């Protein structure tokens, strides 16, 4: 198979191992485990709360870099100076707006106000030498008067120079979208992608209908090859593994090892 990207472009989202980040000692051991699997980068999530600068130093000690940082939209808007300082300490250029808690995706006025604000703060962060990425879930796939979903609206109404994209293929699929098509649509804007597979589980003999679950790469039903090929053709820089739950043997480290091996074998 043709090599699509380098091994050092694979990262892991630390939300995957959130149950192993309870203290500075535990964080240090977790980062070492991630590095030992083969990952060279991590994506932070609110950067681990109160541990602060000590955690930034632990990244260096473990041999990992921070490829991008997930932050709550409301914090990105309200405390730009703090976020910019944090990003500079991390040596990271991509700040990701993830999960705006106060936006009502059932309200057109709420989403339109949010979109205008997203564009405004994207400009602010660009002027500070950073790049703002928007991370989707499934709520953005609600339709706007039957004609357009909110994710289309957000990208149509923001400046591509100020708001870039971090697509999450699992949430696109769960929202009824097509991950491959979205990767193509975001050409020139797609700088990072969240990778996880999509499966179903649960159900009983009486009610056999199963529920969506997050799966390790290659263990679910997504056609990953064309998705990743489309992401690469669109200029994707980072391929970020995230497994929410449903880990192999309840062990997230086993799950991220399976994912790393899958990517390395099939795409690197």
Structural domain count, the chain: 1
Residue 55 within a domain: yes
Residue 2 within a domain: no
Q: What is the pLDDT of residues 55-66, one digit of tens each?
A: 778 898 999 999
Q: In the predicted model, what is the mean pLDDT of residues 121-127?
A: 98
Residue 53's pLDDT is: 57
Kindly tell me if the per-residue pLDDT of 179 is higher than 90. Answer: yes
Residue 128 within a domain: yes
Q: Which of 2-11, 131-140, 254-263 has the lowest mean pLDDT?
A: 2-11
- Mean per-residue pLDDT over the chain, rounded: 94
Q: Which of 98-102, 137-141, 177-181 has the lowest mean pLDDT?
A: 98-102
Residue 93 within a domain: yes
Q: Which of 12-26, 29-43, 237-251 has the lowest mean pLDDT?
A: 12-26
Residue 52's pLDDT is: 53
Residue 60 within a domain: yes
Kindly tell me if the per-residue pLDDT of 150 is higher than 70. Answer: yes
Kindly tell me if the per-residue pLDDT of 255 is higher than 60. Answer: yes
pLDDT class of 50 with cuts at 50, 70, 90: very low
Q: Let me know: does 226 contact 248? Beta carbons within 8 Å.
A: no
- Domain of 206, CATH number, reads 3.20.20.150
Residue 142 within a domain: yes
Residue 1 within a domain: no
Q: In the predicted model, what is the mean pLDDT of residues 80-86?
A: 91
Question: Can you spell out the DSSP letters for 143-206?
Answer: EETTTEEHHHHHHHSS-TTTEEEEEEHHHHHHTT--HHHHHHHTTTTEEEEEE-EEEEE---SS
Kindly tell me if the per-residue pLDDT of 142 is higher than 80. Answer: yes
Residues of the domain holding 203: 7-267
For the full predicted model, state whether its pTM sits above 0.85: yes
For residues 198 and 212, what is the distance between their CA atoms, to the nearest angstrom?
A: 7
């Amino acid at each position: 198979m043709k090599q699509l990207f380098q091994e050092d472009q694979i990262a892991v989202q630390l939300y995957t191992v959130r149950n192993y980040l309870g203290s500075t000692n535990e964080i240090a051991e977790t980062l070492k485990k991630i590095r030992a699997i083969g990952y060279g980068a991590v994506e932070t999530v609110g950067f681990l709360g109160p541990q602060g600068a000590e955690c930034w130093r632990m990244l260096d000690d473990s041999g990992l870099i921070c490829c991008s940082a997930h932050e709550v939209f409301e914090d990105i808007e309200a405390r730009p100076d703090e976020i910019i300082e944090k990003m500079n300490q991390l040596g990271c250029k991509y700040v990701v707006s993830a999960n705006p808690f106060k936006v009502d995706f059932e309200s057109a006025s709420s989403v339109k106000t949010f979109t205008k604000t997203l564009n405004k703060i994207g400009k602010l962060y660009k002027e500070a030498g950073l790049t703002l990425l928007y991370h989707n879930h499934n709520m953005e796939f609600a339709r706007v008067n039957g004609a357009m979903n909110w994710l289309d609206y957000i990208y149509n109404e923001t400046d591509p120079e100020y708001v870039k994209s971090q697509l999450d293929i699992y949430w696109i699929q769960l929202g009824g979208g097509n991950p491959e098509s979205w990767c193509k649509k975001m050409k020139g804007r797609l700088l990072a992608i969240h990778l996880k597979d999509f499966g179903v589980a649960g159900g009983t003999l009486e009610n056999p209908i199963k529920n969506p679950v997050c799966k390790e790469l290659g263990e679910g039903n997504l056609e990953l090859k064309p998705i990743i090929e489309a992401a690469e053709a669109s200029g994707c820089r980072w391929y970020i593994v995230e497994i929410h739950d449903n880990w192999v043997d309840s062990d997230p480290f086993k799950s991220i090892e399976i994912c790393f091996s899958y990517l390395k074998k099939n795409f690197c």
